[in-house]
């Protein structure tokens, strides 16, 4: 039974990793948006022995600069969001051609999580 759970976990990780890969390498900017910093509380289940309890964590989602681009992928027009640096965000506007580079990401990965006391 453990082998099946292990195999399912590996397959899920592979799917998640490859689904985060951007399809577009470049496209026309159709939207830019700024997401201000926000704070919220999330209850995360934690197993202690045979008991599962909910532990509150404070999540701080830091400010983000997002560029939505539109382009063609496998014969279809699609849109993808990219999180970019503030400097790059300030240099682009709607209608510009955007080339995906190393300073942009498809993930909002600048969050801070701390255990609530």
Predicted pLDDT of residue 32: 94
Q: Across-strand partners of 71? A: 78
Q: Compute the average pLDDT of residues 96-114.
A: 70
CA dist., res. 102 & res. 86, Å (int) = 14
Domain residue ranges of the chain, discontinuous segments joined by +: 2-115
Query: Does residue 6 or residue 27 have the better pLDDT?
Result: 27
At 72, the pLDDT band (50, 70, 90 cuts) reads confident
Grade residue 94 by pLDDT with cuts at 50, 70 and 90: very high
pLDDT given for residue 104 in this prediction? 64
Residues 47 and 55: their CA atoms lie apart, in Å, by 10
| pLDDT top residue among 114 and 15 | 114
* Whole-number pLDDT of residue 117: 62
């Amino acid at each position: 039974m453990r082998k099946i759970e292990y195999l399912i976990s590996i397959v899920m990780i592979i799917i998640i990793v490859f689904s985060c890969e951007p399809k577009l390498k470049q496209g026309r900017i159709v939207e830019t948006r700024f997401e201000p910093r926000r704070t919220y509380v999330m209850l995360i289940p934690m197993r202690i022995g045979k008991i599962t309890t909910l532990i509150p964590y404070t999540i701080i989602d830091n400010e983000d600069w997002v560029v939505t681009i539109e382009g063609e992928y496998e014969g279809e027009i699609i849109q993808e969001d990219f999180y970019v640096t503030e400097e790059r965000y300030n240099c682009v506007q709607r209608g510009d051609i955007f080339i995906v580079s190393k300073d942009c990401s498809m993930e909002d990965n600048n969050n801070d999580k701390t255990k609530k006391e």
